[in-house]
Structure 1
Amino acid sequence: MPVRWLVNSHSHADHWLGNAAFSDTVIELIASEQTVSTMKKYGKDDVKFYTKVTKGTIGFTQLRYPNVLLK
C-alpha cells in the first residue's frame, strides 16, 4: 500500500532529509509554513553538514519540500 501522507513535524534535518525517498508513493507531504521556511533556508547547508559528518555515507540526498502547508 502506498504512503499517502508524510508529516514533517519540524525542520531538524534528521527528520526531513529523507523526504525524497517517498517521492514515488507519498501523496501529501505536510508541514507548517514556518517549518518549510526553515527547511528552505538551511536545507543545502544541512546536506553539506551531514555529508561531512557521515563521510559521505548518506549518499545523494535530494531536497524535497512539503506541498501542503499548515498555517
Structure 2
Amino acid sequence: MLNNKVSIASGSYKEIRLWDVSTGNPIRTLTGHTDAVWSVAFSPDSGTLSSGSSDGTILLWTLARAN
C-alpha cells in the first residue's frame, strides 16, 4: 500500500509497475532486473515488495509510505 491507497504490482520485461487499483493509474515503476520478471509479492505489512527474475536474482524493494 502506497500513500494509503491499495496498489497492485505487475512484472514485465525488466520492470515492475505499481498500480492504484481505485483509479487504474500507475503509481511507480521499479527497475533493476536485467531479464523478465516472473514473480512479485508484497510483505504482510505492505512495506516491502520482492521480485524474482529470469536473470537469477531476487530483489527486495522498500516501499515508502506517505500519510
- TM-score interval, smaller chain: under 0.3
TM-score, with length taken from structure 1: 0.26
**Bigger relative CO (Cα 8 Å, ≥ 6 apart):** 1
User: Which is greater in Rg?
Assistant: 1
TM-score, with length taken from structure 2: 0.27
Q: Which has the higher strand share?
A: 2
